[in-house]
Amino acid sequence: MFALRGKCQILSGTIEMNHLVQLRGSRSTYLKMSFSNPFKLFPFLFILCCYGLHAGIAIDTITSSQSVKDPETLSSKNGNITLGFFTPQNSTKRYVGIWWKSQSIVIWVANRNQPLNDSSGVVTISEDGNLVVMNGLKHVIWSTNVSITSSNTSAQLSDSAKLVLMETTTGTILWDSFQQPSDTLLPEMKLKIPSNGTGTQAKLRSWKSPSDPSVGSFSLSAVQRTTIVEGFIWNKTRSYWRSGPWNGSVFTGIQTMPSAYLNGFQVIDDDQGNKELYYRVPSTSEFVIYVLNSQGQFIRTQWDDEKKELKHSWTSEQSDCDIYALCGPFAICNSQKSPTCSCLKGFEPNNQEEWNRQNWTSGCFRRTDLQCERVKGQNASVDAKEDEFLKLQMVKIPDFSEGSTVTPDKCKSQCLGSCSCIAYSHDNGIGCMSWTENLIDMQQFSGAGLDLYIRVAYTEVEHDIPINLVIKIPSSVVSEFSPKLGLLFDWIATATNNFHLSNKLGQGGFGPVYKGELQDGQEIAVKRLSRASRQGLEEFMNEVVVISKLQHRNLVRLFGCCVEGDEKMLIYEYMPNKSLDLFLFDPSKRKLLDWMKCCNIIEGIARGLLYLHKDSRLRIIHRDLKASNVLLNKDLDPKISDFGLARIFGGNEDEINTNRIVGTYGYMSPEYAMQGLFSEKSDVFSFGVLLLEIVSGKKIISFYDDEHGLSLLGFAWIQWNEDNILSLIDPEIYDPNHHKDIVRCIHIGLLSVQELATERPTMATVISMLNSEVTFLPPPNQPAFSRWQNMNSVPSKESSVNNSPLRFSHLNKVSLMHLVSLLGSLVHHLGFSLAHIGILRGFEFLNHIRSSSPLENPSMPPSSNSPSVPSDPYPIDNQTSTFECVFDVRSFRAVEDHSKYKAWHGPEKIVEVILKLKFSRARTIPDSIAQAFFHAALSVGVSSAKPSQLSQIISHQNHTQKWKFGYHLDKDQKKHLENWKGVELKGSLA
């Protein structure tokens, strides 16, 4: 289309016009014209305008009379798609192609194997009606090459980037570019899948190189075997990549492809008995394409309109495990393990030497022959037993399966009944799949995939004594769980980029939390319970039921849950500012808070708790309110989260007793920590602690005031009584204009942490106090866990002099008593009564522990060299068994340097601590008691250490037991713990 633009000036009867006559996409041509008589200009303008109008009638169409000559271009109606001549980077050849907005995004090439050597090319309609590309000698170098009865044809470029040749009069389509794709799959472009090898197969073919569009080594197509459809990338004639079977929603071998992802891929039946693969985009304005590049990678490319750039959002080659048959037959690939390849259970490497060199292509062989033929032949020996199946979960199933539409049970019986069947799998969307040849191209996923059952000899299966585990869930909980909340694991895995480390938001007590994004753009937070988590099905179901019934602006919203195999996940609304503790204890983020924001956070938490206690349909005690369980949205509005430990109260219940103490030390009320009693006032105590943390910017489980080593509650109490309240307030949030409000909040905080639950206000009263509806506030009584602050103690600076052994006598009394209280609650948690704890001279402590119930057997019996142990590990007599406890701290280097700690990532350190208990008389301590004791002791020095799964008993001789604990610590925690080297605790145990 011609465009006329310029500027006219009339000077002394002369018109000069500088203007640009340009064909879209062609080179600029400047004309300078001078007319002495202005009236002579009009005929010229009339002719020019008529020609421009004629050229503009069909800017997207080629006819026999309207061709495209190099460097002219043809554009679609919306102007986004262009057909024209281009030269690839680092090349001198000319090609006819279709591109999107810029020549850097070429999506189709006509003459890819017959390039033009100069700029003399032309695209036109030939005499026989075909669309052709001709060179300067009028030689046809490319043609649509279809049989046409009429020469009245035209070609049109659509907004979908499809170039169509059609009969002009009738509009009948004779050919289109989607039938002969290059290297790019476009929305609505259908790849034909011939049924069982019949018909013409559509393929994408890669460029030879980024500068050479000619056909390269790689091609992509979909294949149908019996009823099973799979996608393949081929390197010439060899398989290079495989998608896994299509199950009606996803290709099951693509771990990051949940249902309706990758812009809605679909497989449909055509009108000729074949199938077609294509995809759609939610909006025609979105630019999303898939390109098979010259390296054999199938890449999803899309335009980021906000950043004005292209981005690659997915690739077929996520790891080496995606390369076809990398590990050879009967081996499985796992990109998260080293080495990557491993033999299936019951199989061994065919060539161990090659495997040691990480060349796994030879695969594995079966260690024990199958017994199927012998068993069926009835001539088997007495001990011959029928083969069994080993179950592999979440795997990319092998290639070359045979399909049938039968039930899972029928699928298993068919395979078991055929000695040639070596494996089977079943999926509701695919049916039954079985294998009779080598099992190749298997991959272990962390999510998605299918279950695969592999036939092995009976002797290869471990036959343990069966143990029945029954988890009793109240019927009310079961009835409240709505299946509508359930979500597919595949969706969640994809939304979180397969739980990628970059999506990880943090680590909770029961597992990691990941950020995710659903297809519609909705951001989510996924709480994934680790398999090692202490939270079982009951806590999980409890959290689902509790929070699904709650609706309040200060409670986090639950979108759904997922229970699939061992996986248990909760899906919450995403909070962009993460948790409150990050803002309270990170100096850089603390600066973002002022008093008004803190006040809003305090009031929001209070209103959320009041809703739980009084206003919701259920009366709920949270039991684990702390800074890390308060999330902040983009406006820093607080939302209470993590209801795994919450308890629902009956209508007439005001207090409940439990033998199972759960929660976080420091935030636990004394009656709950020591006696297992909890009520609304337990949450009030936690709220008070949290309020003091917000105002002071100090952590509850830390010590303040070098001289006295006070906890936050003790420190706050001292400052309150000495009228030195400014030393408690964080300067970052202090505002003299709101001094009275800040002091009032501290007052309310101290009222909330009083030792006696009856003296603490309710949350309704707390909110009235915060809003100044209650004008008079009673004076607070002494908080819990702060009674020893006036005792004499050694300054903390003496606690680590020249790395000399540090004894408990060097610690202040507050720390020791805090340890004792924590130990008491843990012992109570384990089912014992703590009858008396006394502090003796020299700070030895005497624990008179009496067994309130029969103890379990020790988790590991004494060795043969140790004395015999009485049946009652704690005989009640008048004798005293003195004991000595020694902590030996051993520091390791960074996690990455130690393969046995490879599961951990990040800048944290691993610290290994040896706990040794030596007794004057023979006695055996259960591992659980030692671990409880150790965790209690450690919590005094380190507030948030995370125990690993490496705890184990390492010695059990000469009246001495040793335990080794691996702890996951950050840099500051490690430094703090190193001051405990050689700590000794001596006392007596009756």
- Interval 632-666: pLDDT, tens: 999 999 999 887 777 776 555 555 555 455 677 78
Name the percent of the chain lying above pLDDT 70. 64
Domain holding 359, by residue range, is 322-460
Residue 399 domain-assigned?
yes
| Same domain (yes/no): 836, 919 | yes
Residue 780 domain-assigned?
no
| Same domain (yes/no): 85, 153 | yes
pLDDT band at 948 (very low <50, low <70, confident <90, very high): very low
| Same domain (yes/no): 339, 397 | yes
- Residue bearing the bigger pLDDT, 804 or 498: 498
In angstroms, rounded to a whole number, what is the distance separating the alpha carbons of residues 459 and 149? 72
The radius of gyration of the chain's CA atoms, rounded to the nearest angstrom, is 38
C-beta of residue 546 within 8 angstroms of C-beta of residue 603? no
Stretch (H or E) spanning 402: strand 402-404
| Same domain (yes/no): 641, 740 | yes
Q: What is the CATH number of the domain that holds 82?
A: 2.90.10.30
Q: Which residue has the tokens 């309706």?
A: 260
- Of 318, 347, 367, which residue is a domain's last? 318
Residue 264 domain-assigned?
yes
| Same domain (yes/no): 681, 734 | yes
The stretch 38-61 carries a mean pLDDT of: 49
Residue 91 domain-assigned?
yes
pLDDT of residue 762: 94
pLDDT of residue 861: 33
| Same domain (yes/no): 396, 488 | no
In angstroms, rounded to a whole number, what is the distance separating the alpha carbons of residues 749 and 640? 18
Least confident range of 106-115, 140-149, 248-257, 782-791? 782-791
| Same domain (yes/no): 359, 454 | yes
> Mean pLDDT score of the chain, rounded to an integer?
73
Whether pTM > 0.75 for this model: the answer is no
- Of 721, 755, 770, which residue is a domain's last? 770
| Same domain (yes/no): 688, 724 | yes
**Extended beta strands in 462-557, E state:** 504-508, 511-517, 523-528
Question: How many independent structural domains does the chain possess?
Answer: 7
| Same domain (yes/no): 595, 501 | no
| Same domain (yes/no): 239, 352 | no
- Interval 415-446: pLDDT, tens: 988 999 999 999 988 999 999 999 999 999 98
| Same domain (yes/no): 150, 79 | yes
- Interval 665-687: pLDDT, tens: 788 888 877 777 888 999 999 99
70, 387, 624, 642: the active-site residue: 624
In angstroms, rounded to a whole number, what is the distance separating the alpha carbons of residues 748 and 752? 6
Q: What is the CATH number of the domain that holds 488?
A: 3.30.200.20
Stretch (H or E) spanning 927: helix 927-941
| Same domain (yes/no): 854, 923 | yes
Look up 624 and say whether it is catalytic: yes
Q: Is the pLDDT of residue 159 over 80?
A: yes
Q: Which residue has the tokens 């009083």?
A: 754
Least confident range of 111-125, 151-165, 375-389, 976-990? 976-990
- Interval 703-725: pLDDT, tens: 665 445 577 888 899 999 999 99
Residue 776 domain-assigned?
no
Locate 35 and state its tokens: 């007319």
Least confident range of 295-309, 390-404, 662-676? 662-676
C-beta of residue 789 within 8 angstroms of C-beta of residue 814? yes
Number of Cβ within a 10 Å radius of residue 968: 20
In angstroms, rounded to a whole number, what is the distance separating the alpha carbons of residues 428 and 400? 19
